[in-house]
């Protein structure tokens, strides 16, 4: 494989905007709902931000695992990465913000911070967000 060659891509489609549903390859089929805070009925369903938060958490956790494997870190238990994504109003536009709550049991604070810092550099999502979206990285004991 050559540098910058596409490793993987997938396609999803949205139907009905925020109050519709999304479907995609691999069996993705998610109902969407508009939260009451955004003028919706708050019905059952996810939001684009919820889907983004799930993808961000999974990608970042994988990136930390890759850093740990590359540096021969000892086993450190079950890591947990929770992502929160939200919207703020900026005039007529919306601004996305995110936070990652990270737990790495069995590692010192220094070791855990090293994995977080390394993951920021290789995670496709955090690299795309850098300079565009405020991300708060919160490391928990």
pLDDT 10s digits, 41-61:
989 999 999 999 999 999 999
Q: What average pLDDT does the segment 30-51 reach?
A: 94
pLDDT 10s digits, 73-104:
877 668 899 999 999 998 999 999 999 999 99
Percent of the chain having pLDDT more than 90? 84
Domains of the chain, with CATH numbers? 1-46 (2.20.25.10), 47-140 (3.30.300.20)
- Between CA 131 and CA 36 the distance in angstroms is 30
Mean pLDDT, rounded, of the chain = 93
- Between CA 80 and CA 135 the distance in angstroms is 17
Structure tokens at 14: 């949205």
User: What does 46-113 look like in DSSP terms, one character per residue?
Assistant: B-HHHHHHHHHHHHHHHHHHHHHHHTTPPP----EEEEEEEEEEETTEEEEEEEEEEE-TTS-HHHHH
Question: What pTM was estimated for this model as a whole?
Answer: 0.93
Residue 125 has pLDDT above 80, yes or no: yes
pLDDT score for 141? 86
């Amino acid at each position: 494989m050559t540098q910058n060659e596409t490793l993987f891509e997938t396609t999803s489609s949205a139907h009905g905007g925020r109050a519709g549903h999304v479907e995609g390859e691999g069996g993705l089929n998610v109902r969407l709902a508009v939260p009451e805070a955004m003028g919706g009925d708050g019905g059952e369903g996810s939001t684009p931000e919820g889907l983004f938060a799930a993808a961000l958490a999974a990608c970042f956790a994988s990136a930390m695992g890759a850093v740990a494997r590359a540096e021969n870190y000892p086993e450190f238990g079950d890591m947990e990465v929770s992502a929160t994504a939200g919207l703020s109003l900026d005039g007529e536009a919306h601004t996305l913000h995110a936070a990652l709550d990270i737990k790495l049991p069995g590692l010192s604070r220094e070791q855990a911070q090293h994995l977080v810092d390394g993951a920021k550099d290789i995670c496709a999502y955090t690299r795309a967000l850098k300079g565009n979206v405020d991300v708060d990285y919160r490391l928990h004991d």
